Structure formats: C-alpha cells, structure tokens
Amino acid sequence: MNKQTIILPLIALMMAANSCIREEALGTECDITGVDSTWLAELPAGFITGNPVVKNASVTFFTPKGSDVSALAPRFYITPGASLFTKDAAGNTAPFDATQLRDFTSPQLYQVLSEDGNWKKDYTVSFETPQPTDLFNFEHFGYDERQQYQRLLQEQTDGSLNAYIWDSGNGGYALTGMAKTPEDYPTVFVEGGVSGRCAKLETKSAGDFGKRVNLPIAAGNLFIGEFRVAQAMLFPLRATRFGLQILKGEPASLSGYYKYKAGPTMTDKRQNVLAEKHDTCDIYSVVFEVDPANMKPLEGDNILSSERIVLISRIADPGEPTEWKQFEEPYRPMNGKTFDPERLKAGGYAIAVVMTSSRQGAYFEGAVGSVLYVDELKINWKE
C-alpha cells in the first residue's frame, strides 16, 4: 500500500469531519444568563445591594436610596453564540455597545438574538430601591412570562407593585406538565381571605415526571427571595434562595391569619407511605447576617440552621384550624446573637418570610392534598 493510498482516505475523512462541523445546527437559545462579574466589581462599593435578579424576561438591580443610575452601562452574560442588542421605546435595535451609557431612572430594554437568527427575546433591565415592607395581604398578582402560573406582586409603601420580593416553586412545578391552567399550580391567590384575596398553598402530585426523578410531590410554598428553576431538578435545596435586605428596624413579631387541612396520606420521596406521620404546615421568618456588598441568601438546607441567623419567628405547632386563626409569634434570638442597629444601618441584615403546606416539603415528604391558606401577614417592628 503506497502513501497516496493512505493519505487520500485521510483527507476525505478530514473533509467529511469539517463538513459535519459546518453543517451543525446553530443555536436557538436567546437568554441573558447572568450579569458580568467584572462590571459589578468596577462599581463603587455598596452601589448594588444584594444580588442582581435575572428572572423571566427581566434583570433587576437593587440600589440604595438616592443612588445615581442616570448613566450606566451594565454588561451581561448571554447564551453562547447569541447576540445582544439595545432597544429603544420605538422598537429600534442597535448592537450592544459596552461604552454606551443609558439612563436607568426608567427601565431600559435589551434584546437577545439567537445564534441562528430565528429567535429573539426582549429583556427589561431596571434599577430599583427595595423598600422596607411589613404588611403582606396577597391582593395583587401577575403571571410569569409564559402566562403559566401566578406570581405575587407586593404593594410597597409608595403604592408601587414589586414583583421581585416574593417567589414560589411554581416554576419548578411547570416542568412536570401536571398543571393545565394557572389555577392548577401549588401556589395561587384566591378570593375568600380575611380581607379580599389570600394565598392558597397546596401540596400536589408531581405525576409520572416526579416519580421518575424521585421528586414525587410539590408542596405549595411562598417566600421572600428567589426560586431558580435551572437548579430545581439536580439541586432542589439550592433552588430556593431566601431573604432580601428590606428591614426597616428590629422586628418584634410576625402576625397574621391562617387555616389548614392536612392531606390523608403522608409519603416520602420514594413514595413510601409514612403511616405513623401526619402532615403539618409551616409559617416562619428569619433575620440573618449578610455582607452588605455581597449578599448571600440562605438556601433550603440551611434556612433554619445557618449560623448567620440572628432572629427567628415560627409557629411551633400550627395544628389544623378549619376557620381563620389569628397568630402572633415573637422573634427569638438564635446562635447567641443580638440584633445590632449599626449593622442594620450598613445593610448587614436580610429577612425571609416562608410558608408551606408541608413542613418537610423541601425534602419531598408530605401529603398530597394538604392545603394552607394565609392572609394579612405582618412584621411588627420594635419602637
């Protein structure tokens, strides 16, 4: 066999390989996946409070009151191969220019174009000042970008509605395909509250999808913080990120109204019946220490055990009241810590309020059909 006999087939194989690479389908994804950490590091210390929130079709930055946001050029991570554009109010787009300053005293529009050029997604980027919030009445809700499930809109002290204070696991439940309407999700907002609407949290079956991945139930839940759908299947305890820096003082107690009915059969994550156990709900709040410039939330595996927790308010034995039951639970110290007003002034505390229809729902243990209603929650501050 001569050299030509060997080389010619090799060349043909190389050409075929190159052809395969050239013909590989271009990407169809068009997402902002995060905020450029280098750009964040260039900002003055304390300019951004906590972590930027990339959710649905929006990116939200939190800044202290009085911050000048009139000339900024935030940078983002996007889907590999995609292209980023800025967009004006008239709908005109221009390639993203990292040197172009934009006025964020009002939200600004961006657009991501997929690698194949066939898909695009608009993002609203805004800078907001979180307002201390203490009354939660569940009167206002909107929907996720696909109109699949409800999201709580928190009315703030200035009358505005904030979509980034509360979150739930509804986004994870959407992956199961069990819900056909927004009302089929574990967390919804319904009439019949103490006054107007209330939160309804129900433990639901995750169907065949949940059985295959050993995540058989989805407890209705609602909490101050963020739910990351991308981590819901592989790292469910990390998907829930609890807490925001929205305290206006030292909290004295958490009060409100609730009623509850446990489902008939308690099961574990492998669907074994736990005949000796009975489901129960959970309503609690924690205050914990954070770095003001780099707020790290608590997660599902440490929301009640972290050494950073300073105060906790929790209904120890909620029972099953069939009518609205009023409660008020004081904030008690944890970990030998005391609340420091000077740390508060520096933005060194975050607070989370959490409620769920199954107390062990984070570990996929609970009873399908357990239903918790909550209304008129309030954080009562010390004078």
Banded model confidence at residue 18, pLDDT cuts 50, 70, 90: very low
pLDDT band at 66 (very low <50, low <70, confident <90, very high): confident
Average the pLDDT over 187-197 and give the result: 96
Residue 24 has a pLDDT of 59
> In this predicted structure, what is the pLDDT of residue 324?
98
* Rounded Cα gap, residues 161 and 164, in angstroms: 9
Q: What percentage of the chain reaches a pLDDT higher than 90? A: 69
pLDDT category, 72, cuts 50, 70, 90?
very high
Q: Give the pLDDT confidence score for residue 214 in this predicted structure.
A: 87
pLDDT: is 36 or 235 the higher one?
Answer: 36
pLDDT higher than 70, residue 5:
no
pLDDT value at 164 more than 50: yes
Assign 363 a pLDDT band (cuts: 50, 70, 90): very high
Residue pLDDT, tens place only, 232-278 = 777 888 889 999 888 889 999 999 999 999 999 999 999 999 999 99
Quick one: what percent of the chain has pLDDT higher than 70? 93
Higher pLDDT, 14 or 35: 35
Cα–Cα distances (Å) from 78 to 171, 311, 357, in that order, read: 21, 39, 36
Token pair, residue 313, equals 């308010």
Q: What is the pLDDT of residue 135?
A: 85
- Select the more confidently predicted residue: 319 or 49: 319
